[in-house]
Amino acid sequence: SLGEYSALVAIGSLPLGAAVRWVRERGLAMQRAVPKGEGTMAAILGLDDALILTLCERATSEAIKKRAENSGDPDELSVEAIVEPANYNSPGQVVIAGSKDGIAEAIHLIKTDSEFSKGKIIPLQVSAPFHCKLMAPARERMAEIFSQVEAAHKPKMPICPYVPNRTARMTREAGLVFELLIEQVDHPVLWKQSVTTLLDAGYTHSVEFGPGKVLSGLIKRIAPQSSSENPRKYTQLSINESSHLKSLDVVLKSQERAYV
């Protein structure tokens, strides 16, 4: 989701200096939204999106039920009992976020309930349950910050389309930029859907900036394999040092660009 700010700077919609300050404020707000140790996240492999939604609903219900049974427990969490999808990474890979007890219930269900037996769940070592309802205080903070932005730093018309995390639909509407950046804080990151949008629009190259090739690997799982029925080939480039910039030539010659 941080990449949405990078994309908006790259396409001339946001000024770099202001965006860096906003990202810092966003990080602090998200960290402060939930008391330490009361929220967490987990990656789920092998289940489709509909089944993951069912899992989240069941885990939330179980956590609420157990809290009612143990009302008055000195170790009771202060945040709402909840589990929600947080990151749609690729087919069969979704990250969930929520209260500590809610995620514990999700782990228990996958390990014991036959309905979810094809799934695998991996607890993540994170400092907060990002991109779920528990991030509401951080969303409010970003709304406050953007409401006070001076005219010179307000979003400008992008030079090309971009794909917001919140909608996974290409847009160039400057008036929606702040609204979408606010909403992405407590809503899931639609990475799989965003990449699918670009693929459906005919894009065939992607460039990942930064260390590693995590996003390129996810795109490879999202993009259909080349075949006689689908002859298109998808090219992923990873740029993690200056010498790799030469490999950008083929992409920069393309007439159509979009950012995600």
Active-site residue, from 13, 131, 194, 238 = 131
Strand, coil or helix: what is 123?
Answer: strand
Answer left, alpha or beta for residue 131, where phi above 0 means left and psi between -120 and 50 means alpha.
left
CB 87 within 8 A of CB 95: yes
DSSP calls for 54-65: HHHHHHHHHHHH
Distance CA 96, CA 103 (A): 8
> Is 1 an annotated catalytic residue?
yes
Strand, coil or helix: what is 52?
Answer: helix
Distance CA 52, CA 72 (A): 31
> Is 147 an annotated catalytic residue?
no
State the catalytic residues. Answer: 1, 131
